[in-house]
Structure 1
Amino acid sequence: MYATSAEQRRYDQYEPAARDFWALLKPRVMSLVVFTGLVGLLLAPGEIHPVIAFTAILCIAVGAGASGCLNMWYDADIDAVMNRTCDRPIPAGRVSRESALHFGVALSVASVLLMGLAVNITAAVLLAVTIGFYIFVYTMWLKRRTPQNIVIGGAAGAFPPMIGWVAVTGNISLESLVLFGIIFMWTPPHFWALSLFACKDYEKVGVPMLPVVAGEAETRKQILIYTLLMVPITLAPWVMGFAGPVYGLTSAVLGTVFLGLALKLYFRKDIGTAKKLFFFSILYLFILFAVLGTEAFLGQTSGGLI
């Protein structure tokens, strides 16, 4: 896993810049994690001091960045071969694997310790589980062994709103599990849509993504199945009463569009539709949580859900 002497000479030609270490944190992924964590915090019943709330979100951000960094450390060998990842800091020779490992471990430990000391122990344990699940369960165990890597590994990305909720309440509730479920069920259709048009990249490095081992037809079928399962779960916050009618209407409309694209992909079998579904899925999750967060914020200031 560490650099050979030839690789080390290549690293020595560069002085790692702050932007290279920032890139190791996967900032685009981190921003979505922070956003969903913030929404979980806003939705949670009870009060939290603004400084503690900020600290909780900071810890979620640092923990997410640490996970991304350690993922790049472990996957540097396949990242160097895949077209969409070959310019990442480690395969491009701008940061050594050893530096990335030390950076990721330091951030992981710091984020969990700060969460435990400044927020609460339950939130710290959840954050530690999230980081450990992403690195040890998804990255090291599942990713290169099973086409169910995304399904099971998706749990890591679904924990942040639970962590935000627990930062306020100190305990896990049914509502926080629903927030977890939305992201957990969203992850397979989102990433399988990506894998349909990035299939050759995964195939040449031996990562058993679903289209590689089961074919495109089965992948389109599974995308449709998971979409059908996901849409009712996205309505649950409104049905359960911790989201308002604006969210209920938004989730119903967006869910219909998502399902329409999944059906179109199932029957039309073209890469263009897969790309549309992938990019829409990002917007879909962002809007759902944006409305959830906005309703919660306005509800706190006006005394009830809008």
Structure 2
Amino acid sequence: MRTASTLTNHAPSGNGAASATGWRAVAAYVALTKPRIIELLLIETVPVMIVAQRGLPSLWLILATVVGGTLSAGGANAVNMYIDRDIDAKMERTVNRPLVTGAVTPRNALVFALVIEVIAIALLWFAVNPLSALLAFASFAFYVGIYSMWLKRRYSSNIVIGGAAGAGPVLIGWAAVTGSLGWAPWLMFLLIFLWTPPHFWALAVKYREDYASVNVPMLPSVASLNTTARKILGYTLALVAVSLVLAPVADLGWVYLAAAVISGAVFLWSAVAVLRSPTPATAMRLFGWSITYITVLFGAMAVDQLAGFAWPL
């Protein structure tokens, strides 16, 4: 027979339960920032800083820029979830988001988003430079005001124009090092701007019925798959062309150029495959490669500079 003492020893401790609840709350707030999207933004920022520096910037500058950029993007993403909580509850892809499950209340989510955004802008302004802070705020305002509140639910060109917000980190990274902008960072901006539509439309092909069910006019939900595939190919061609032009403009060497040619060829091949067979399966393969592509391309920029390669040989 178990005694009261034995039962007490086997009961879950109050501290343990509170700790588990605390970690779940932390995880919910982290989820509001869309960490997987932020990972892609960081892949852009640090290599751009290396190219701007023509070497490795100070670790303090990298840290301040990355933390500021992460908080700024996270704040924008959290506000986006606040705005989209009504349609997120109806879409298969988003039903587990914190505002849908009730893990975070709408009020707390909005307060959290605005607080980390203010911290981000202040950190960039005082620890990096005012230009980087202004660019971060512009990206936040564009993503929230232009994309989330205006374009997304009205126009099939939503993600095309909205892609400008996702391209902001390259400008922030360059400005953090140089305190100015020039042709090279604007071409990098254009590169991300052109990459965003084929990347996102490929994913939207799989979830086109989801978007149609909530009247969000993502291209695959309002146009045929053939039309979507043709536009994906068109943007991919422009993307690869810009990636090659970037080499001489940004004074990048053969490491970057070889990566741009090879990864760009695979991207084009994947886009053609979608055109030949516009199905969710081929589109998702393109989506997967688009993430690899941007990682390889920006990683090659950093390796190119750190390895001492220059244009021309």
Structure 1-normalised TM-score?
0.91
State the alpha-carbon separation in 2 of the partners of residues 275 and 45 from structure 1.
Answer: 36
Q: Secondary structure at the match of 1:44?
A: helix
Structure 1 position 34, deviation (Å): 1.6
Equivalence for 1:8:
none
Equivalence for 1:17:
25
Equivalence for 1:70:
79
Equivalences for residues 128-207 of structure 1 within 5 A: 128-207=137-216
- Asked whether the 8 Å contact 1:296–1:305 carries over to 2, the reply is no
Aligned-partner residue type, residue 87 of structure 1: N
Equivalence for 1:59:
68
Structure 1 position 207, deviation (Å): 0.5
List gaps (5 residues or longer) in structure 1: 1-12
Structure 1 position 15, deviation (Å): 9.5
Aligned-partner residue type, residue 37 of structure 2: V
- 1:115 pairs with 2:124: yes
Structure 1 position 139, deviation (Å): 0.6
- Identity of counterpart residues, as a percentage? 37
Moved more, 266-275 or 244-253: 266-275
- Asked whether the 8 Å contact 2:244–2:257 carries over to 1, the reply is yes
Aligned-partner residue type, residue 279 of structure 1: G
State the alpha-carbon separation in 2 of the partners of residues 49 and 217 from structure 1.
Answer: 48
Deviation string, structure 1 residues 24-69 (Cα, Å, up to 9, x no partner) = 1111111111221111111113785432331111100111111111
Q: CA RMSD in A?
A: 2.0
Aligned-partner residue type, residue 55 of structure 1: A
Q: Secondary structure at the match of 1:200?
A: helix
- Asked whether the 8 Å contact 2:183–2:249 carries over to 1, the reply is no
Equivalence for 2:135:
126
Aligned-partner residue type, residue 63 of structure 2: F
Structure 1 position 102, deviation (Å): 0.2
- Asked whether the 8 Å contact 2:164–2:193 carries over to 1, the reply is yes
- Asked whether the 8 Å contact 1:235–1:248 carries over to 2, the reply is yes
State the alpha-carbon separation in 1 of the partners of residues 133 and 30 from structure 2.
Answer: 23
Aligned-partner residue type, residue 168 of structure 1: V
List gaps (5 residues or longer) in structure 2: 1-20
- Asked whether the 8 Å contact 1:37–1:163 carries over to 2, the reply is yes
- Asked whether the 8 Å contact 1:15–1:94 carries over to 2, the reply is no
Pick aligned residue for 2:50 from 33, 39, 42: 42
Deviation string, structure 1 residues 146-200 (Cα, Å, up to 9, x no partner) = 0000000000011101101100100111100111111110000111111111101
Aligned-partner residue type, residue 30 of structure 1: I
- Asked whether the 8 Å contact 1:113–1:124 carries over to 2, the reply is yes
Cα–Cα, structure 1 residues 304 and 212, in superposed 2: closer, same or farther, change >3 Å? closer
Cα–Cα, structure 1 residues 303 and 174, in superposed 2: closer, same or farther, change >3 Å? closer
Q: Secondary structure at the match of 2:90?
A: coil
Cα–Cα, structure 1 residues 207 and 246, in superposed 2: closer, same or farther, change >3 Å? same
Equivalence for 2:34:
26
- Asked whether the 8 Å contact 2:252–2:311 carries over to 1, the reply is no
Q: Secondary structure at the match of 2:153?
A: coil
State the alpha-carbon separation in 2 of the partners of residues 304 and 177 from structure 1.
Answer: 19
- 1:260 pairs with 2:269: yes
Aligned-partner residue type, residue 222 of structure 1: K
Equivalence for 1:10:
none
State the alpha-carbon separation in 2 of the partners of residues 183 and 105 from structure 1.
Answer: 26
State the alpha-carbon separation in 2 of the partners of residues 48 and 251 from structure 1.
Answer: 24
Q: Which has the larger radius of gyration?
A: 2
- Asked whether the 8 Å contact 2:254–2:311 carries over to 1, the reply is no
Moved more, 121-130 or 231-240: 231-240
Structure 2-normalised TM-score?
0.89
